[in-house]
A = this chain, B = another copy of it.
Amino acid sequence: MRVGGRVFRTIWPDNEGATVQIIDQARLPHEFEIVSITTVGEAARAIKDMQVRGAPLIGVTAAYGLALAMREEPSDANLEMACAALGAARPTAVNLQWALEAMRRHLLTLPPAERGRAGFAHAGAIAEQDVGLCQAIGAHGLGLIRAAAARKQDARVNILTHCNAGWLATVDWGTAMAPIYKAHDEGVALHVWVDETRPRNQGMSLTAWELGQHGVPHTIIVDNAGGHLMQLGMVDLVIVGTDRTTASGDVCNKIGTYMQALAARDNGLPFYVAAPSPSIDFLILEGIGSVPIETRSELEITHITGLAASGRIETVRLSPSGSKAVNYAFDVTPGRLVTGLITERGVIAPNREALAKAFPDRIAKVS
């Protein structure tokens, strides 16, 4: 998508497949910087430090990380070691494991001498597949926004989103944002309520930034405000992403998603989850208690980083000294609160039967 008028993806190979370039998302929205990743260790570090984040992009970055590992040392042992290192970088998003396993299976069939070049090619294919999934989700979600627009007649459609499931969370287009970009691009009058998404503020830092760069009308709100806006009729639908959705349609996503879903339900509003099938975990039925929930540093809550009046990026402490914080990064929205899962194969009801019917190939692989 566009940044200052120029088209970017979040990740791309460079130097004839010797390095990988990423947008350093930890510096957004105040600085736009491209970073080169040259080793598997740097790839794992970029995932862990959230220079790249978003379930689909984490998967693609891990795939490129394995490709870099094969450039360094294409042995089976190094492949397994690299898979373990990358797989441990973040625990919740299932795409990470999915991408690593796809790469691993492919590379193990090849002689070591071919693994360097083949790794890059396969990671590139996974990246292209991600773009295709997002575009398909965009097309299916577009229908939902068009329908909402028809109901609103002349008024613009108000869409609330949480965290960043935009193009920055993927290779391009985004998941939850793909329908919004498609609708905006074809002239549907819409406006996005952007939850700031504490504690890391991905909504404020990333979603607002990418919507602004693309020219989509939007307003930042605190996470606390969603329910109030819904009560007043100022939200027409909610679209969020997912880090892992279970086979029965329970949705693990950024902490606070569950509370937005409760508010949508209480106000009779549709709550959609954009879920590319690599983010669906057909091995798990119940979300609560089964999906591992990452606990991150309390410093993400007690301290915050922003742009000081001096123009410098500064970190300030918000909490009283002596008070502890705990930082759960995700929660689970039960499928009963979800109106539909926007997948690359259409909008699917959040239950076991509908998901199994839409993805028989994924179910077959499990059993």
Contacts and interface: CB of A to CB of B under 8 A. Distances in A.
Contacts of A305: 316
Contact of A307 (B199, B218, B316, B331): B316
B307 A317 contact: yes
A366 interface: no
Contacts of A220: 298, 301-302, 319, 323-326
Of A225, A289, A307, most buried by chain B (CB within 10 Å of CB) is A225
Number of copies: 2
B308 A316 contact: yes
A236 to B, nearest CB: 17
Interface residues of A, number: 69
B256 A222 contact: yes
A73 interface: no
B316 A306 contact: yes
A199 B222 contact: yes
Contacts of A218: 323
Contact of A262 (B259, B330, B331): B259
A73 to B, nearest CB: 41
Nearest to A287: B231
Interface stretch (A38-46, A88-96, A101-109, A203-211): A203-211
B204 A318 contact: yes
A197 interface: yes
A212 interface: yes
Contacts of A330: 228
Given A228-B293, A314-B314, A320 B212 contact: yes
Contacts of A344: none
Interface in A188-219: 194, 196-199, 201, 204-205, 208-209, 211-212, 218-219
A194 B316 CA distance: 20
A318 B302 contact: no
A2 to B, nearest CB: 14
Nearest to A330: B228
Contacts of A151: none
A208 B301 CA distance: 13
Interface in A61-85: none
Contacts of A332: 228, 231
A251 interface: no
A263 interface: yes
Nearest to A201: B318
A222 B208 contact: no
A223 interface: yes
Nearest to A337: B266
6 contacts: A205-B318, A212-B322, A224-B254, A225-B328, A225-B331, A259-B262
